[in-house]
């Protein structure tokens, strides 16, 4: 059986806050993913991002 999509949860929530979802979504094969701070590693990545920002490196790719 193939899953019926993904639910992606973004953001920062209070530690230990409950997440209520329907069990039928899981039983139908839906995948649930989370991303804390967009997946960055704060201790390593924030200093790099600050350095790039101060050097005026563009964070947007040209399309």
Q: Which CA distances in Å does 26 have to 3, 4, 30? A: 9, 9, 5
Asked whether residue 35 is domain-assigned, the answer is yes
Asked whether residue 16 is domain-assigned, the answer is no
Q: What is the pLDDT of residue 54?
A: 92
Residue 27 forms beta bridges with which residues? none
pLDDT digits (tens, 9 = 90+) for 12-52: 677 788 878 888 888 888 888 877 777 788 889 889 889 98
CA 14, CA 2: separation in Å to the nearest integer?
A: 33
Closest CA to 15 of 31, 41, 34: 34
Q: What is the pLDDT of residue 46?
A: 87
Q: What is the pLDDT of residue 3?
A: 58
Host domain of residue 52: 1-11+21-58
Asked whether residue 63 is domain-assigned, the answer is no
Q: How many domains does the structure of the chain reveal?
A: 1
């Amino acid at each position: 059986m193939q899953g019926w999509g993904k639910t992606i949860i973004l953001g920062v929530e209070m530690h230990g806050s409950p997440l209520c979802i329907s069990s039928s979504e899981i039983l139908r094969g839906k995948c649930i993913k989370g991303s804390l701070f967009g997946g960055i590693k704060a201790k390593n990545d924030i200093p790099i991002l600050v350095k790039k920002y101060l050097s005026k490196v563009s964070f947007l790719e040209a399309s």
